[in-house]
Amino acid sequence: MSVRVAAQTPAPYEDTIQVESDDEAVELAPVAVEGQRVQAPRYQEPDATSATKTDTPIIETPQSISVISADQLRDLGALTLQDALRYSAGIHADAYGLDSRTDSAIVRGTAFVQYQDGLRSLFGSYNNVRTDPYALDSIEIVRGPSSVLYGQGTSGGMINVNSKRPRTEAAHELRAEYGDYQRRQYAADFTGPITSDGSLAYRIVGLHRNSAMQVDYVQDNREFIAPSLTWRPSGWFEWTLLGNVQKDRSGSSTAFLPREGTIQDNPNGRIPTNRFVSEPEFDRYHTDQDAVTSLLKIGLGTRWTLSQNARYMESESDYRTMYPNIYTGDPYLLNPFRRDSVLRITYVTDARVRAITSDHRLTGNVSTGFIDHELLIGVDATKVTTRQNEGTLDTFQIIRQGLFDLYEPEYGNFIVPEAEARPDLVTRQTGYYIQNQMTFGEHLIALVGWRRDEARSEEAGGPAQEDEAESRRAGLLYRFDAGFSPYVSYSESFNPVAQLNMEDDPFKPIRGEQWEAGIKYQPPSFPALITASVFEINEENRLAPGPDPSVQVQLGTAEIKGAELEAGMTWPNVLDVMLAYTYLDGFSDAGENADEGARIKALAATPEEVASLWTRFHFGAIGLPGLSIGAGIRYTSAIPDESETVEVPSTTLYDAMIAYDYRNWRLAVNGSNLEDETVVSACLERGDCFYGPRRNVVGSLTVRF
């Protein structure tokens, strides 16, 4: 007999089955099993748990999603999370240029909220360590609001990074990197079973780096170790513990330079991209983090599963910086000689953040007639305590420090401000949510979800701010046998902000909603995944750059419309391709008290178009196994400031890689911005501009055993 099923290999499999009886062996007729596995391209994963908190294929999820695989992280040679996002749709990765403090990417015109292993990982501003790509297995990008499942998120989207976890097969890796800016990095990744039956497995990932940066006197040093254990004594019980201890030692790579000498002409030429505007003996951005994460999954029979995820995290920061005072007087012009009239603002802060996050959910499968339901019921909670000391100089002290020449700097003249303790800020949030994924027959899929959030922000000695909100989502998708899946969806966002405004009052929660329509295509017999979508976002209480870098302001509303295309394809053992295109048209409201003529503003640091193409060719097809070459091109259209009075020119940048794999060895060289273009990533209405990364070439040697 012949039976057609979903197989794991494209080729038919045929075998002879013998049945033992009391008398003699009985040989049945051969059983032929034919099938074709629907594969994702090498640079993407077929499933994304972040969008639904269930194991739902991307092709069946009515929302725009991308998963950056471990192979793509490796081939791109991503040194930061910001680097890893450069070839994804909907994202302006280098929004504020080279920044040693944070990954300043923008998703669908908004800042993103970062999650790690399904739990929020960053709180506040400039007091967190940066996630290192070497610690990750994959990166999930969920575009649009996700508050029904997470509560805390912006309207543009969220990014969930997945940590490397223990495996039951032993694997060991040592890696060394050497590159520009005196980069020296050594890393190790060991995993395998502890017990003979594989029920207990471990993983230890560690890294040590000493490196300078593009900007003089700024270091990029890091140490981290991430041990983890997984205990799986039976098929219905799994518990993973993830630890992370990380220390970053860096400084101020962001110079907040004036327009003259960056995007506008200056008689003295362009301000150098390596210009350090702080003080070598004073400046620092040091961050430490200790965290432990528990991921527990318990099977309750054949249909229901209980999941309990929790994390305790402590983060400390010591931040001292100086930057040009181009925010008072005429913020756009230097002195008549156009070089040495810059006074410098001095700012110090140290902060300690303690965060407890948890997510408890029950997942079950039930059927009602011809409808199959995947139900999700959950509650999550977050408590964040921020303790901060902060200080800056008064006007007389700023003048006493003297003028600073941006072209021929002289260091050594600075005053250290006294830091004063701010009242502790405690933010709590509890959310209750429910979701139903319904499958009608074999093709029609509907998704509905609802959530209620209760948030409370309280500064010690002050009144508490309490907010309540409900969030909803709905989606409809039809999956054709040919691989096409058109969909439409609606979703809402709610994001309480654990920060204070210029009046030392808590910010209002950010609210947003999005309509999205699109089509996904995954051929049944070819590793490809293509997504095209259009969307409209409306956001309230949007955060935006304030009058100087130390503050943010809260605007009224923002409206963002756009279209995206992302395609990943793999010709096995020949070629990998990743293509992305984004179009955005967005404006924000300056607030109810703004002058009528200034109400509508462009979105800060947001280009209208971003496009990218990355390809990797494998030479094994022409008789050179192990050799591969990759090349990428990134285009960003011109970017106006919020008032649209000045504009950053469009840019086209080129990246490349070459790698050779031989047995358990891998030698690779990665380069970004190969033409060493001087790029201004953005200029803001308040007067400052930001340089993007120059050329950076890094070689790596990896051995696995």
Taking the C-alpha atoms of residue 473 and residue 698, their distance in angstroms, rounded to an integer, is 44
Q: Do 10 and 143 belong to one domain?
A: no
In a domain, 44, yes or no: no
What's the confidence (pLDDT) of residue 652?
98
The amino acid that residue 236 corresponds to is W
Tell me which residue has tokens 């790698």. 659
In a domain, 646, yes or no: yes
Distance CA 686, CA 341 (A): 18
Q: What pLDDT, on the 0 to 100 scale, is given for residue 7?
A: 33
Judge contact between 190 and 203, C-beta under 8 A.
yes
Residues 355 and 399 in one domain: yes
Q: Does 58 reside within a domain?
A: yes
Distance separating alpha carbons of residues 531 and 48, to the nearest angstrom? 14
Query: Is residue 654 assigned to a domain?
Result: yes
Here the CATH number for the domain that contains residue 117 is 2.40.170.20
Query: Is residue 611 domain-shared with residue 554, that is, in the same domain?
Result: yes
100, 151 in Cβ contact below 8 A? Answer: no
**Do 495 and 358 reside in the same domain of the chain?**
yes
Q: What is the pLDDT of residues 396-449, one digit of tens each?
A: 999 899 889 999 999 999 999 999 998 999 999 999 999 999 999 999 999 999
| Helix H or strand E encompassing 668 | strand 665-672
At residue 46, the pLDDT reads: 81
- Dihedral, CA of residue 669, residue 76, residue 220 and residue 274, to nearest 10: 80
In sequence order, the 6+-apart residues with CB closer than 8 A to the CB of 330 are: none
Q: What pTM did the predictor assign?
A: 0.91
Distance of CA 682 to the CA centre of its chain: 20
Within this chain, do residues 15 and 134 fall inside the same structural domain, yes or no? Answer: no
Location of structure tokens 């920060």: 499
If asked whether residues 545 and 622 sit together in one domain, one would say yes
Q: What is the DSSP string of 70-114?
A: HHHHHHHT-SSHHHHTTTSTTEESSTT-S-SS----EETTEEPEE
Residues whose CB is less than 8 angstroms from the CB of residue 209 and which lie 6 or more positions away in sequence, other chains included: 183, 184, 185, 186, 220, 221, 222, 223
Tell me the pairing of strands 220-234 and 183-193: unpaired
Q: Is residue 492 part of a domain?
A: yes
The answer to whether residues 184 and 313 belong to one domain is: yes
Compute the distance between CA of residue 626 and CA of residue 614 in angstroms, rounded to an integer: 19
Q: Determine contact, residues 458/425, Cβ cutoff 8 Å.
A: yes
| Helix (H) or strand (E) segment spanning residue 275 | none
CA neighbor of 492 nearest in space, from 421, 553, 433: 433
Note whether 18 and 153 are same-domain residues: no
Is residue 216 in a domain?
Answer: yes
Distance CA 705, CA 698 (A): 23
Per the structure, the complete domain to which residue 6 belongs is given by: 2-34
Residues 453 and 326 reside in one and the same domain: yes
Distance CA 477, CA 113 (A): 26
Say yes or no: 9 and 110 in one domain: no
Task: For residue 240, give Cα distances in angstroms to 48, 127, 232.
Answer: 19, 27, 9
Helix (H/G/I), strand (E/B), else coil: 247: strand
Predicted local confidence at residue 590, as pLDDT: 61
Residues 349 and 476 occupy one common structural domain: yes
Number of compact structural domains in the chain: 2
User: Does 384 fall in a domain?
Assistant: yes
Instruction: Identify whether 414 is part of a domain.
Output: yes
* Residue spans of the chain under pLDDT 50: 1-23, 25, 31-36, 331-332, 597-598
Is residue 8 located within the same domain as residue 56?
no
Per-residue confidence (pLDDT) for residue 150, from 0 to 100: 93
Nearest Cα neighbor of 109 from 157, 181, 63, 141 is 157
* C-alpha to C-alpha distance for 191 and 166, rounded to whole angstroms: 6
Query: Could you identify the residue written with the tokens 């929004």?
Result: 95
Q: Which residue has the tokens 């496009």?
A: 611
Strand bridging mode 651-662 / 200-210:
unpaired
